[in-house]
Every structure is written in C-alpha cells, then in structure tokens.
Amino acid sequence: MRARTATLIPVRAVAARDLAYDAGPDNGLPNPANPQLPSGLDLIEALPLPLIALDDLDCIGMVNGAAEQFLGASAAHLRGRALAEILVGDSPLLTLIHQVRQDGVALSEEACVVESPRFGRREAAVDLAPLANRPGWIAVVLRERLIARGLDRQAQQQGAVRSLNAMAALLAHEIKNPLSGIRGAAQLIEPDLPPGRQMLASLIREEADRIRGLVDRMEMFAQAAPAAFSALNIHEVLDHVRRLGEAGVAAERSIVADYDPSLPSLNGHRDLLVQLFLNLVKNAAEATQPKTGRIRLITRYRQGAKLTRPGGGAAPHLPLAVSIEDNGAGVPEAMQARLFDPFVTSKPTGKGLGLALAAKIVADHGGAIEFESVPGRTVFTVLLPAAPES
C-alpha cells in the first residue's frame, strides 16, 4: 500500500512553460496562449507537494505553499536565499542538485535526508529537473517519507489491533468470570487460616486483582470506536495534557508548546485524545532525564497527507499534524519495526500496550501515527482529519 503522489513530469512541464513568461512580480498573470486557463504558478501553488525553483546560483527563486510549510518560512523570507544557507553543509540534496547541473537531465532519489537547523531532520523522496525555458534553473519536488512510511505501516498497526480485539474479547469472557470466583474464595477463607497462611490468601487476591487489571486494559481494544465525537480544538486538548504532564508523569521536565494558530478544529473524542497524547508525553518523559529533559508539543497544518484505505476507496485528507518531540536516548533500533505491536516494550515493568492502544485510538479517529528516532531526538507524529465543517 502506497500513498498517492504526483510524478515529476507534469510538474516539470507546467513549471518550465509558465515560469518562462510569468517572471514578473504579478504571479497571477493568465496564460498568454489561452487566457481562459489558469496561470502556471496558480497550478503550482495548488500542488500539495513542496516545490522549489532554484536559479543558476542555487538561490531560491520560487516556492509554493507546501514548500513554505516544509521549510518553515514564508516565500518572502526564502526568495533570493541560497539553499545552502538553509540546509546543513553536507546535505545530500545539494549533491543531487549539483549532479543535475552537471548531467543536465532529470533525477529522482527515493530516500534523501533533508536537514536544517530550522526544521530538523526529515527524509524525503526527491525529484529534480532542469527547466528547459530557464537556463540554469532547477525544479525540486519533495515527498516526505515520514508520511509514506506512516500510511504504509498503518495497515500493519490495524491488523495487530484487530488480533488484540479478538484476544481481549476472549479474555473478558473466559478469564474474568472465574477470576472473580478465585478472588472471592480467597477472601472467604482468609479469616479461617492460621496467621502464617493468611498472607498466601492475600497474595492470591492481589494477583487476581493484577490479572484483572491487565484484562481490563486489554478489553479497551475490544471496544468499538466511540460515537460521541464532536468538533474539538486540538490546542485545548494539548494544553490540558501539558498541565497533567507537568503535575505528574512529566514532572521535572520542560514541556514547551509550539502551535500553529491557524489549525482548524477536528472531529474527535476528547477523553480518548487526552489519553493518547498523555501516553505519548509519559513515554517521552520516561525516555528523558529529570531537569534536562525537554518535551515539545508541536502542531502544524500539513498539505498532501492522505491515508490510503485497504481495498481502495476515498483517501481521507489528514492535514492536522500533532508531534510529541523529546531529547531522550531514542527508541532502540531493534524495536522500531515492531514498536506498535502489543506487548513490545523496552521498560522492565512495562506491559507493552501503551503504543498499541495509541494506534487504536488514532485508527478510531481515521488518522495515522508515525515516528522517527535517533539518539537525542525522538518524534511521534499523529496525523488527523479536520472536522467536516472546517
């Protein structure tokens, strides 16, 4: 299962033809060949993929709205700046641009690390092509692989959750009822036992309670998506999570909010979203050290993210991106491929159900969850649809 993406060829044709005549400050000029058609830059602006046009000095001549979001700066700020000033000095993207200039032909790279002090480290598929009608200019199209990997992995997460649903229903029926009888019997016989044996009955009750608690947690997976969805402001949810974290699970860590104020509302279940993001904040806190631990709650509007459904059908737009970032040691590489599977944990006392439950909550909201992790920086990103009225 792959996310739907645009190819380079039509992008290059539009940009090459229309940038040649639409070079003035008025980017709304009609197409002179056919005034009824929209201008080339109108079409480029509508693209959900980041597109950057570089001049013969590798300075940014034009960006569309998606590229502004990707680079974290406005077109006015980016225009005229050398791309090398924005990216790290040894960026593979700069090497690819040099190769296109040298060979004079289009080039595609499926996995390219794009890194900058402004927006951090991202992995993207890159398409580059020279603009035929503008000698020395190059068009660069980026397709962030964070989204693609998240959408591809979503089916695996949902499959694991479905398996756990069946297991939870079985446990609820086959274990909880006899467990109640065992606990009740232990409670009844405890007063009649010698003092030295009463602790054994107490141990039976405690273990019965512990097992029941585990079954209760698993039973959450068997519950259908709640019907009580309503329009929510995600920032109000995150502010509540931040207060809970500062008072409890993330005490002695710095929690910073970095919100996009233009984010539309989403259609969701407030309590489940609080549970989802509080669990991610708790994980971030446990991965960091007191006093030096830093957690960032980040929201962004992300164009072009869609979730492809198994079996086809409409691919819902997932423009709301909520990220929980920490400066901890990172997720062990050996665990990353199975991180959302039930019972996978690196914590000595962990149950391995937190992220599996997070994946279920996200799936119930029609979204996707992904992560990237290196030592010193781990980011979990939840992609969610906007409310219909938005």
Residue 283 pLDDT grade (very low, low, confident, very high; cuts 50, 70, 90): very high
Instruction: Indicate the DSSP class of residue 253.
Output: S
pLDDT in tens, 56-76: 999 999 999 888 888 888 888
User: Strand order in 60-63's β-sheet?
Assistant: 60-63, 51-54, 138-144, 120-130, 107-116
Instruction: Indicate the DSSP class of residue 137.
Output: -
Residue 220 pLDDT grade (very low, low, confident, very high; cuts 50, 70, 90): low
What pLDDT shows up at residue 336?
77
Query: In 3-state terms, what secondary structure has residue 285?
Result: helix
Report residue 85 CA to chain centroid gap.
27
Query: At residue 378, does pLDDT exceed 90?
Result: yes
Query: At residue 128, does pLDDT exceed 50?
Result: yes
Supply the DSSP string of 51-102, one letter for each residue.
Answer: EEEE-TTSBEEEE-HHHHHHHTS-HHHHTT-BHHHHS-TT-HHHHHHHHHHH
Tokens of 280: 């991610």
Q: Which of 14-23, 26-35, 111-120, 284-293 has the lowest mean pLDDT?
A: 14-23
Q: How far apart are CA 171 and CA 337, in angstroms?
A: 27
Query: At residue 89, does pLDDT exceed 70?
Result: yes
pLDDT greater at residue 74 or residue 210: 74
Q: What is the dihedral of CA 339, 341, 342, 344, to 10 degrees?
A: -40
The overall average pLDDT reported for the chain is: 78
pLDDT in tens, 12-53: 333 333 343 343 444 444 445 555 555 566 777 777 889 999
- Look-up of token digits 């595609």: 108
What is the mean pLDDT of the segment spanning 327-342?
Answer: 81
Report residue 290 CA to chain centroid gap.
26
Q: Which of 241-245, 264-268, 287-291, 363-367 has the lowest mean pLDDT?
A: 363-367
